[in-house]
Amino acid sequence: MTSTDAKEQAIKSIARVGVIGCGQMGAGIAEVSARAGMDVVVHEIDAATAERGRNRMISSFDKAVARNKMTEEERDATIANLTFTTDLADMADRRMVIEAVIEDEALKTQVFSTLDKVVEADDAILASNTSSIPIMKLGMATERPENVVGIHFFNPVPVLKLVELVTSLMTSKQTIERSERFADDILGKIVIRSKDRAGFVVNALLIPYILSAIRMMESGFATAEDIDHGMVEGCNHPMGPLALADLIGLDTTAAVAESMYEEFKEPLYAAPAMLSRMVEAGLLGRKTGRGFYDYS
Ligand code: CAA
């Protein structure tokens, strides 16, 4: 089979995508899926939140048009591929549903249990964009754990190429292969595979690094600016660890750290007090206008 045939077959077998949650990750996943020609239904909890997600996506398309990365026709065709809903029952005819709600195990489990009841096709893939929650726990919330897989994207989704494909002990070979084709052939992402351990590959390395930077700042050893400049100028990272925590969201950073600490009980995964206090204060980074830096 040529690569064009493989792509066409993958498109046909998926074609109808659902995305649960339209925050920064969900909006990015819906955007790249719609840009790849998929028919995408996006779910949000209420009409106002769905409208905010839709506006965020439209402004991203407008920016792409202004930067000559997309024509106006492509933008209009992409927008036409997107539908918004507040009813999970609208996922019934989807062949691939990607959950991207906040990093809360109880909420994600509930979403998977509902999707299991409403999604009709026996071979539909139920995927999670979780950063750290075991895929097995989400799979066992359904009657079809063999169809449940982790497809973990990186922020900003339209820019970063990587996807971690996370398989539980119960994920079937067919689900793994079809998910890989979706991420690779359809979305054009680079796929790495990970077993089902909290943090998977990238966060297992990234989160202790970010937590060390927070501890360094907390102890008064160096300023946020100097820590970030150190890694940008000294190691050629695109951004420093504290600016990156602000981009990821401090609530998400803390939630991922907590899942990893719960799994491994190692101090390097424990959230520093400063991170917990900032989350309690609602200083969540870029999305709230203030984190380690001020974005207002
Ligand atoms: N959507 C679409 N395009 C975007 C974008 C977005 N949200 N943000 C930036 N871009 C594009 C810009 O349009 C620009 O494109 P051109 O070069 O073609 O004009 C390009 O990306 C660079 O953007 P900027 O010039 O605005 O800024 P920059 O050069 O400082 O790059 C950045 C910004 C892409 C965020 C870069 O700093 C970066 O890659 N940072 C590291 C991000 C990272 O490590 N993410 C992983 C987080 S971990 C995670 O997500 C997983 C988890 O589970 C926690």
Beta-carbon contacts of 38 under 8 Å, excluding residues fewer than 6 positions away, are 11, 14, 15, 16, 17, 81, 186
What the block records as the tokens of 118 is 């409403």
| Residues 153 and 277 grouped into a single domain | no
| Residues 43 and 110 grouped into a single domain | yes
Q: Count of domains in the chain?
A: 2
| Residues 25 and 90 grouped into a single domain | yes
Q: Is the shortest distance between the CB of 158 and ligand 1 below 6 Å?
A: yes
pLDDT in the model for residue 197: 94
| Residues 191 and 231 grouped into a single domain | no
Please indicate whether residue 155 is annotated as part of the active site.
no
pLDDT averaged per 10 residues, the chain (length 296): 71 88 95 95 96 92 93 95 97 98 95 98 97 93 98 96 98 97 96 95 97 98 98 98 98 95 95 98 97 97
Residue closest via CA to ligand 1's atom 31 equals: 238
| Residues 250 and 271 grouped into a single domain | yes
pLDDT in the model for residue 5: 74
The phi and psi torsions of 140 (rounded to 5 degrees) equal -75, -5
Q: Is the shortest distance between the CB of 238 and ligand 1 below 6 Å?
A: yes
pLDDT in the model for residue 168: 97
SS3 121: coil
| Residues 80 and 209 grouped into a single domain | no
Q: What is the CATH number of the domain that holds 51?
A: 3.40.50.720
Whether residue 294 lies inside any domain: the answer is: no
Q: What is the CATH number of the domain that holds 215?
A: 1.10.1040.10
Q: What is the ipTM of this complex?
A: 0.94
| Residues 265 and 168 grouped into a single domain | no
| Residues 26 and 158 grouped into a single domain | yes
| Residues 132 and 241 grouped into a single domain | no
Please indicate whether residue 43 is annotated as part of the active site.
no
Whether residue 108 lies inside any domain: the answer is: yes
Beta-carbon contacts of 101 under 8 Å, excluding residues fewer than 6 positions away, are 20, 21, 23, 26, 107, 108, 111
E strands, the chain, in order: 16-20, 39-43, 82-85, 96-99, 125-128, 148-153, 162-167, 190-195
| Residues 183 and 239 grouped into a single domain | no
Residue closest via CA to ligand 1's atom 10 equals: 159
pLDDT in the model for residue 132: 84
Which of these three, 175, 195, 215, is where a domain ends? 195
| Residues 164 and 133 grouped into a single domain | yes
Please indicate whether residue 164 is annotated as part of the active site.
yes
Please indicate whether residue 68 is annotated as part of the active site.
no
Give the atom of ligand 1 at the shortest distance from the alpha carbon of 154.
50
Whether residue 188 lies inside any domain: the answer is: yes
Please give the residue range of the domain that contains residue 144. Answer: 3-195
| Residues 167 and 280 grouped into a single domain | no
